[in-house]
Amino acid sequence: MSEIVTAERAPIAFAGSALDRADAVRTSPEQLAALMGPRARLLRLNGLEPRIDADGALDWGSLAEADLDAELIFLGLDAVGHGCFVAAPPLGDASTAPPGPRLWQAMAGLSPGDLATYGAARSLAGWHARHRFCPRCGGGTVAARGGWQRDCINPACKAEHFPRLDPVVIMTVEHDGDLLLGRQPRFPKGRYSALAGFIEPGESLEEAVAREIFEEAGVRVAHVAFVASQPWPFPSSLMLGCHAIAKGRDLVIDHTELDDARWFTRAEVADAMAGAPDAAFGAPPPHAVAWHLLDRWLRG
C-alpha cells in the first residue's frame, strides 16, 4: 500500500499490490457474480508459475479460459473496478518447493505491484490445491467466500477453513557494533544472511527471536525491535524482520541448521551490501527482507 510512509530505500518485494482486495465483495454472491462478466480478468499461470506478457507484465486473460469446474479465487479489483481472479489448480498441483532460477528470472522482470499481485495469487492458489480435504474429518471441501475460505461438505462436520499464513522471525543481531549473520547450507557460495525461524504456538514475536538466536548461535539477547515485514509466498510465510541486541558474542553454532555464523564489522557489511569484489561475504539479495534489515542497520 504505497500510501504508507516507510523507512525503506527500495520497495519490499511481494508487498504493494495495486489491487483493491474489496473484502466486502467476498461475502456477496451477487457482487461476485456481477464481477464475473466479460470484463473479468483471469491471471494466467503455468501451474503456480507466472506467465509473462510481451511487455514483461503479468499475463491476464478472460474467465472463459478457465476450466468449467475450476474454483475461481477473487484477488480484488483493478484500477478501473474490474474483477481479477485466479483459478485454483487441480488436486495434486501443490508444490511447496522454494523458487528455482527460472521462477526468479520471471519474477525479476515484474513491476513491484505485479510481483505482489502474483505472490498473493500464488500463495492462495497453492493453499487451495493443498486443502482439498478437511483436516478435521477427512471429508471433501469446496471453495467459499470468493476463494478466501474452504468449507467441509460433510454435514456432520461443516468445518470452515481459511488460508494459512506462517509467521517467521528473521533478524539481525548486534553486539559492540558488529552484526551476527549466518549461512544456511542451501545458500549460494559465500552468502551470509539474517538468522530466521518459524514462530511457534505459545510464544511472542520477541520470544521467538530470542529463542531462534539462542538455538542457532548460542547467543542470548537483551532487546528485540521490529524493523519491517514482508509477505513471502513460498508457500505462505509472513516474514517479520527484527533487530536484536546481544548480551555477548561467544557463538555455539547449531550445525544441523547452519553451515556457519560469524560476527561482521560495519565496514564488512557495508562492503558486502555495496557488492565490493573483495567483500568478506555475499549479501542477501534485494528481494529478501534480510537485505532491508542490513540496509536499515547500515543507515543507523
Site for its own copies in 208-237 (CB under 8 A): 210-211, 215, 220-224, 226, 228-231, 233, 236
Minimum CB separation from its own copies for residue 64, in Å?
A: 25
Residue 54 backbone phi and psi in degrees, to 5 = -65, -20
Choices 1-9, 37-45, 48-56, 57-65 (CB under 8 A): range interacting with its own copies: 1-9
Residue 247: closest CA among 212, 220, 278: 220
Q: Can you tell me whether residue 265 is helix, strand or coil?
A: coil
Q: Which of residues 108-137 bind its own copies (CB under 8 A)?
A: 116-117, 119-121, 123-124, 127, 130-137
Pick the closer one to its own copies by CB: 145 or 271: 145
Q: Which of residues 180-209 bind its own copies (CB under 8 A)?
A: 198-207
Pick the closer one to its own copies by CB: 191 or 226: 226
Pick the closer one to its own copies by CB: 155 or 202: 202
Work out which of 44, 59, 82, 161 binds its own copies, going by CB under 8 A: 161
Q: Which helix (H) or strand (E) holds 229?
A: strand 221-232
Residue 174 backbone phi and psi in degrees, to 5 = -115, 140
172 binds its own copies (CB under 8 A): no
Residue 116 backbone phi and psi in degrees, to 5 = -70, -40
21 binds its own copies (CB under 8 A): yes
Pick the closer one to its own copies by CB: 29 or 190: 29
Q: Name the burial class of residue 132, with classes exposed (0-12), middle (13-18) and buried (19+) by CB atoms within 10 angstroms of its CB.
A: middle
Q: What is the DSSP letter of 284?
A: P
Pick the closer one to its own copies by CB: 40 or 242: 242
283 binds its own copies (CB under 8 A): no
What's the start-to-end Cα distance of the chain, in Å? 25
Residues 6+ apart with CB under 8 A from 43: 58, 59, 60, 75, 84, 85, 86, 117, 118, 121
6 binds its own copies (CB under 8 A): yes
Q: How are strands ordered across the β-sheet holding 141-144? A: 141-144, 149-152, 160-161
Choices 3-11, 42-50, 56-64, 292-300 (CB under 8 A): range interacting with its own copies: 3-11
147 binds its own copies (CB under 8 A): no
16 binds its own copies (CB under 8 A): yes
50 binds its own copies (CB under 8 A): no
Minimum CB separation from its own copies for residue 273, in Å?
A: 22
90 binds its own copies (CB under 8 A): no
Q: What is the DSSP letter of 111?
A: -
Alpha carbon distance 151, 157 (integer Å): 9
153 binds its own copies (CB under 8 A): no
Residue 173: closest CA among 192, 199, 198, 201: 192
Alpha carbon distance 226, 238 (integer Å): 13
Pick the closer one to its own copies by CB: 39 or 223: 223
Alpha carbon distance 109, 51 (integer Å): 11
Work out which of 18, 70, 144, 238 binds its own copies, going by CB under 8 A: 238
140 binds its own copies (CB under 8 A): yes
Work out which of 43, 66, 94, 194 binds its own copies, going by CB under 8 A: 94
139 binds its own copies (CB under 8 A): yes
